[in-house]
């Protein structure tokens, strides 16, 4: 008897796509949505740019250094159309939203341009049925829980974007020009996404927007929610272990939010509040809408009301009109407040910002000197803060292998936000990414800690053979201010 063998249909290999995400966590969320769009479109995600048929660069256009990094990255990726597998180069985000005409004329290598509200349009691009210029109105889009999204980085931690845009008019900032006015997400939709992320194994939810304290103010009165209500519901309903709030503006803080930060077991007592300066004259030039006295009252109130508060802030040095007296006042303020974490930006003129018109300008050499002096003042404070933790027992979220040594695991305690505040290097035991482990702090440097694991291992899968206990020595002092 003859057997007829049916010809098996050949499986067409998936095309590969590579993403480069530049800038802030808000940009990262946008990139994660595009990752989801690409996967839904049948593309295979690759970390190797030279293997990808499609490359997407999500740009930052906030300040001069960020713009330069974005442009350099675009040209670097464009080279892979000559020597790699790249067939299509897509540029998205703030830079293309801000300069669509200029980029389209000066970058013929780029096949498609998308703006800050065009993440879902990537689907049309990947299908090959899209125009080259797809930059839309920045007010056209707000992320939804139903949008596809793939979490990047340490998978036990994720950013949760609660609003888009900003209604403030700070003199140095151009973000409202290319992100649009404030658009708060409905509270139910935010909570729905928070639950989805927790179901995927996310233990830490980091609430972000351009102006988080203003959440809900743009909503219709009968639909309006406050930030405190949102934080309460996310903490109560999501199932996440830690809920962290970023980017609070220095105005009078709702006492309900202060109470959550002080008392809720899943709301991290961590305040991120960019103050930008401490001189009344500079705060006025920056159009911040308040003076140093209000800032001092806010800092005092938060410190006295929230036990174990960890306070992060950011400042700008070299803003037009900043005198030596203004800068000295800023240094004095930092030494008075003793912030746990400080980021320092070096001012650069942006052609469409109000600050560009302010005189006199501060010389670049002076700006660099002031940056170094302020960072040196803060480094002493940070070192003392970390040394005060020696001997303390802390709960640490394990992230994965250290960048310094793949055999050493690293994580963060609640007072360290992802990517900006340093790490806890784990010593004396075995740990897996995504675990919460109890450690005792044994070493402290300017930004990082070493902690010895002191609890029992709680593996979710079959336990791996136990290696010899590793001892970790903290030899390198970090420079977290460089990433502000």
The string of pLDDT tens digits covering residues 123-159 is 999 999 899 999 999 888 899 999 999 998 778 999 9
> How far is 236 from 238, CA to CA, in rounded Å?
6
- In order of 130, 140, 265, the CA distances from 137 in angstroms are 17, 6, 40
Identify the weakest region by mean pLDDT among 38-52, 65-79, 405-419, 448-462: 448-462
pTM for the full predicted model = 0.89
Q: Is 94 annotated as a binding residue?
A: yes
Domains (ranges, CATH) in the chain?
Answer: 16-140 (3.40.50.12160), 157-387 (3.80.30.20), 393-483 (2.40.50.140)
Residue 444, number of CB atoms within 10 A of its CB? 21
Q: Which residue has the higher pLDDT, 305 or 428?
A: 305
Confidence of residue 9 (pLDDT cuts 50, 70, 90): low
d(CA 410, CA 401): 6
pLDDT in the model for residue 14: 87
Q: If you average pLDDT over residues 340-367, what whole number do you get?
A: 94
Rounded Cα gap, residues 484 and 478, in angstroms? 13
173 belongs to an annotated ligand binding site:
yes
Residue 145's φ and ψ, nearest 5 degrees, are -60, -25
Average pLDDT value for residue range 163-192: 93
Residue 86 annotated as lining a ligand binding site: no
Predicted local confidence at residue 10, as pLDDT? 53
How much is the average pLDDT of 175-188? 92
**What whole-number percentage of the chain has pLDDT above 90?**
77
Band of residue 481 on the pLDDT scale cut at 50, 70, 90: very low
Average pLDDT on 350-356 reads 89
SS3 197: helix
Can you tell me the distance from the alpha carbon of 352 to that of 48, in angstroms, rounded to the nearest whole number?
Answer: 36
The answer to whether 279 and 326 are in contact (CB under 8 A) is yes
Question: What 3-state class would DSSP assign to 442?
Answer: strand
Looking at residue 365, what is its pLDDT?
97
> Which phi and psi (to 5°) does residue 477 adopt?
-85, 130
The b/e string for 66-79 (b: 16+ C-beta within 10 A; e otherwise) is bbeebbebbeebbe
Cα-Cα-Cα-Cα dihedral sign, residues 352, 355, 358, 364? negative
Q: pLDDT band at 475, cuts 50/70/90?
A: very low
């Amino acid at each position: 008897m003859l057997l007829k063998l049916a010809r098996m249909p050949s499986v067409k290999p998936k095309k590969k796509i590579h993403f480069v995400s530049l800038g802030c966590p808000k940009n990262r969320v946008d990139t994660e949505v595009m990752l989801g769009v690409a996967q839904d479109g049948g593309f295979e995600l690759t970390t190797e740019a030279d293997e990808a048929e499609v490359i997407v660069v999500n740009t930052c256009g906030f300040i001069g250094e960020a713009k330069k990094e974005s442009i350099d990255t675009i040209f670097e990726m464009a080279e892979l159309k000559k020597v790699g597998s790249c067939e299509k180069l897509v540029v998205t985000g703030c830079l293309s939203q801000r300069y669509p005409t200029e980029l389209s004329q000066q970058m013929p290598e780029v096949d498609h341009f998308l703006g800050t509200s065009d993440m879902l349009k990537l689907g049309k691009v990947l299908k090959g049925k899209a125009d080259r210029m797809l930059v839309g109105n920045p007010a056209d889009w707000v992320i939804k829980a139903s949008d596809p999204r793939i979490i990047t980085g340490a998978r036990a931690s994720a950013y949760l974007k609660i609003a888009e845009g900003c209604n403030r008019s700070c003199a140095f900032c151009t973000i409202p020009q290319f992100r649009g006015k404030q658009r708060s997400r409905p509270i139910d939709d935010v909570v729905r996404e928070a639950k989805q992320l927790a179901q995927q194994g996310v233990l830490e939810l980091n609430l972000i927007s351009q102006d988080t304290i203003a959440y809900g103010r743009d909503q219709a009165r009968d639909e309006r929610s406050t930030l405190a209500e949102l934080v309460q519901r996310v903490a109560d309903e999501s199932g996440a272990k830690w809920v962290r709030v970023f980017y609070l503006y220095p105005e009078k803080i709702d006492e309900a939010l202060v109470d959550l930060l002080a008392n809720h077991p899943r709301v991290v007592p961590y305040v991120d509040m960019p103050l930008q300066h401490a001189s009344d004259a500079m705060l006025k030039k920056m159009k911040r809408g308040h003076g140093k006295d209000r800032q001092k009252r806010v800092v005092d109130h938060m410190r006295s009301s929230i036990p174990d508060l960890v306070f992060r802030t950011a400042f700008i040095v070299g803003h037009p009109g900043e005198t030596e007296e203004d800068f000295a006042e800023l240094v004095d303020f930092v030494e008075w407040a003793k912030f746990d974490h400080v980021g320092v930006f070096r001012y650069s003129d942006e052609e469409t910002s109000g600050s560009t018109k302010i005189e006199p300008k501060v010389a670049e050499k002076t700006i660099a000197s002031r940056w170094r002096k302020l960072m040196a003042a803060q480094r002493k404070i940070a070192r003392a803060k970390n040394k005060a933790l020696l001997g303390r027992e802390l709960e640490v979220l394990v992230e994965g292998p250290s960048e310094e040594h793949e055999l050493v695991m690293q994580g963060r305690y609640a007072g360290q936000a992802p990517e900006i505040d340093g790490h806890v290097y784990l010593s004396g035991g075995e740990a897996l990414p995504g675990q919460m482990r109890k450690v005792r702090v044994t070493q402290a440097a300017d930004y990082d800690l070493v902690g010895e694991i002191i609890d029992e291992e709680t593996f979710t899968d079959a336990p791996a053979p136990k290696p010899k206990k590793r001892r970790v020595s903290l030899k390198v002092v970090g420079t977290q201010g460089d990433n502000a």
